[in-house]
Structure 1
Amino acid sequence: MKKQMWFAPVVLATAVLLLSACSGPDEDVAAPSAEAGAVPEAIAAIAEQGRQEISAWPGPTDSPQADGTALSVVVVPCGMATEGCKRQAEGFIEAADALGWETTLVDPKGDPSLDNAAIDQAITQDADAVFLVSIDPDIVAGALERARDAGIFVVASATDNTTGLDHEVSLHGDEEGRMLAAQIVVETGGDAKVAMFTGNEFKTVVKRVEGSKEVFADCSGCEIVAEQDISQTAGGPDLVSLVQSTIQAHPDVNVLWAPYDAAATDMVQAVQQSGRDDVMVASFNGNLQNLEFIRSGAPQKIVVGEALEWVGWAGADAVLRLSQGAPMVEDDGVPARILTADNLPEQGTAWTGDYDFRSEYSRMWGIG
């Protein structure tokens, strides 16, 4: 089966073009409150574009019709305790239920050895497909090879690595990183002193870091004053302590760059306990709790919202295409959006993409 390679979506191309030309302000999106004098025009344009509502369908325009085959799929998230992983897995299961498929959820809880065991379980069960969530294919290469040899389709999300996969639903980490950094530059008026807490176990996070660093490098008043790698299992009191010690060691820090919302939650607590009201938290995902932090005036001020349930539905679309030998899409079009206090979704809801993707996929599949 031919391996597909996916590259950045239309929004990435748009952002790159904005490096040389600014878009005009949108009346429906409040302008940032920070002074823009020290903000490079190209960076301000990336932030402006990234704040806009998703008003048109960015995904595929057609897909195979569901044929009633009850496919069996093993769903393997990076860890259900991590909200971003959980939302993608649950999105896939929801779509699979709509298609009449059978799913088995195997939670490896962030343990790479259990990632491999979960894929081997799919082989034992004679599953039709495996859906991996934010698990680097390189660390399960042997299991993936065994699965493919057994005729099992392998689809993954948020990996920024297509090795051994039939398809990846990409979050385009580099573009997300540029979006977050651009908004940070705008919010700080071009004076961001950033402590970056990376998560190098995830290639998507590595790409986010790279994208953010590109933007910070183009901001003369911005500086990364500290950088620390963390893991998804290192949250709670240990992360709170690490963040507090970082703030104390670098009193000029005014931004904490978080690799995902779960880590940002602990960072908010750390900032609150430190008494530093001049430090903001910025992260990725757009989970409910983090949106409420922004809404309530807590230290978290920015998040790049990801349509994570949409990711799961796009993953189901990929499995459907593979099962019928249909053409694969070059990019699934799952969007991201910069969210601040000025453009949050309704209270009590996570950001899911501004668009009814469920109805769109159901229509294409002939089930809605």
Structure 2
Amino acid sequence: MIILAGCQSSQGDAAGGGTAAPAAAEAARERLKAAKAPIAAKVPDSGPMAQPDKSVVLVPCSVASEGCAQPAYAARQAAEAIGWKVKLIDGKDTADSQNAAVRQALTLHPDAIITFAINPSTIRGSLEQAREDGVTVIASSAVQSDLPDFSGIPSRTVWEETGSLLADYAIAETDGDVKALVLHDTGFEVLGARFDAFTGRLEECETCEILESQSFTFADLATAVPRMVQQMAQRHPDFNTVYIDYDYAVPAVLQGLRAIGAEDKIVLGSEGTSTSIASIRHQDGQTATTAVALDWIGWSNVDALNRIFAGESPEPAADALAVKLIDHAVATEQGIEGLWDGDVDFKSAYLKLWGVDRT
């Protein structure tokens, strides 16, 4: 059973009992095995050689957020390795500034633009201008949309796995007795798949509860989210788990929890940023993350773009990415420090795929 509440406190007992909780926990542990193990992902087996003499502009939602910026930095590295001209323009957090960044990119007359974690619907005007100008646009970490030429990296399946595996982790760690506080950022449309997968998996657990769910946006992180977490925790002193959509927001959650002395709680985020992995390794507040190798996102988007330049479908480029559940044991036993690298040397593999001579 799952109980959802908005601003008001909710009362209720989890349904089920008996063997339901242990069975739910065991099923969750089984699903987690592959996600915690070294990943056997790989780059596509085939693809076009690097297309020469191209220029691309990269626009991350905000360079202040590692989850937005790191894939863009990695894409720059990949594009430069191919020999393309590259420029990066900061989207600076807001829809207006992101729209302006894309319009600025268009004045440079590039062959393509890649945006990172920017809703296509919020920059519709500039995307329509790009199409009119004949500039190819890839929207990375965005919902499927007809506005850009491609928006499938990461795939919806990956986004869903990042949410459902976090729910599995909470179910396993509480032996099927999750009592969760949930915070969802409604400003990034693509996060809906992760949020829905997390809450959906908890709905399958008869003995689990969502005590309260609240929404926020990126602009709320500095002050509103810590206060929101504090108030939610005070309304539900029996909570044992806090979920928030992405790692960059976890420090705001921890600030709220520490303000009221709430300790030994399961704190969950997603992305696999270097800050979150350090916190998990050192047991400094965050308990686990579902990581997609951020650098790999950038390189796979360049692979997609190269395929488009070659007149091929970009879809195979989206199939490479995998999700890893990283907690303290995984981080320490597998030696994961800083950013997770995907458990494979994907950069060398892409260069070989593209026919790039590294000597």
TM-score, normalized by the shorter chain, greater than 0.5: yes
Measured against aligned partners, the alpha-carbon deviations of 1:218-245 in whole angstroms (never above 9, x if no partner) come to 1111111111112122223432222112
The unaligned stretches of length 5 or more in structure 1 are 1-35
Distance in 1, matches of 2:271 and 2:313, equals: 30
Show the counterpart of 1:80. 63
Give the Å deviation of 1:248.
0.9
- Rounded to whole Å, the distance in 1 between the matches of 2:340 and 2:256 is 25
Residue number in structure 2 paired with 1:228: 214
Name the CA distance, whole Å, in 2 between partners of 1:80 and 1:198: 21
Q: Which amino acid counterpart does residue 215 of structure 2 have in structure 1?
A: D
Matched, 1:241 2:227: yes
Query: Do residues 141 (structure 1) and 124 (structure 2) align?
Result: yes
- 1:230-274 deviation line (CA, Å, top 9, x unaligned): 212222343222211211111121111011011112212332332
5 Å matches for 1:59-78?
59-69=43-53, 71-78=54-61
Q: 1:89 aligns with which of 68, 72, 92?
A: 72
Provide the C-alpha distance between the structure 2 equivalents of 1:189 and 1:42, rounded to a whole number of angstroms: 10
> Matches of residues 1-368 of structure 1 in structure 2 within 5 Å?
37-57=22-42, 59-69=43-53, 71-168=54-151, 169-171=153-155, 172-330=158-316, 331-344=318-331, 346=335, 348-367=337-356, 368=358
Q: Is the 8 A contact 1:201 1:231 kept in 2?
A: yes
Q: Is the Cα–Cα contact under 8 Å of residues 292 and 347 in structure 1 kept in the other structure?
A: no
SS of aligned partner of 2:22: coil
**CA distance in structure 1 between the aligned counterparts of 2:219 and 2:119, rounded to whole angstroms:** 16
Moved more, 128-137 or 315-324: 315-324
Q: Deviations over 1:41-91 (max 9, x none)?
A: 44333222322211241x31112112432x211111111111100111111
* One-letter amino acid matched to 1:310: W
The aligned amino acid for 2:193 is K
Contact (CA 8 Å) 2:41, 2:322: kept in 1 or not? Answer: no
Alignment gaps of 5+ in structure 2: 1-20
TM-score normalized by structure 2? Answer: 0.87
Q: Is the 8 A contact 2:185 2:217 kept in 1?
A: yes
Alpha-carbon RMSD across the aligned residues, in angstroms, is: 1.9
Aligned sequence identity (%):
31
Contact 2:26 2:172 in 1 (8 A): no
User: Contact conserved, 1:284 with 1:303, CA < 8 A, in 2?
Assistant: yes
How many angstroms apart in 1 are the aligned matches of 2:335 and 2:135? 40
Whole-angstrom distance in 1 between the partners of 2:22 and 2:313: 48
- Check whether the contact 1:160–1:173 (CA below 8 A) recurs between aligned residues: no
8 Å CA contact 1:271–1:279 kept in 2: the answer is: no
> Do 2:113 and 2:138's aligned partners in 1 also have CA atoms closer than 8 Å?
yes
Amino acid in structure 2 at the alignment position of 1:250? H
2:97 and 2:319 map into 1 onto residues whose CA distance is: 28
SS of residue matched to 2:218: coil
Q: Which residue of 2 aligns with 1:6?
A: none
More helix per residue: 2
Cα offset, 1:40, TM superposition? 4.9
Within 2, Cα distance between the matches of 1:102 and 1:235? Answer: 35
Within 2, Cα distance between the matches of 1:182 and 1:193? 13
The answer to whether the Cα contact below 8 Å between 1:116 and 1:143 also exists between their aligned partners in 2 is yes
Once the two structures are superposed, residues 146-182 of structure 1 have per-residue CA deviations (whole angstroms, 9 ceiling, x without a partner) of 1012111111211122321222212532221111111
Q: How many residues align?
A: 332
Conserved 8 A contact 1:195-1:253: yes
What is the DSSP-based 3-state SS (H/G/I as helix, E as strand, rest coil) of the residue aligned with 1:257?
A: strand
Residue 119 of structure 1 aligns to a residue whose secondary structure is helix
User: How has the CA–CA distance of structure 1 residues 56 and 124 changed in structure 2, closer, same or farther, with 3 Å as cutoff?
Assistant: closer
Instruction: Tell me the distance in 1 between the aligned counterparts of 2:47 and 2:164.
Output: 31
1:347 Cα shift?
5.6
Letter in 1 for 2:69: K
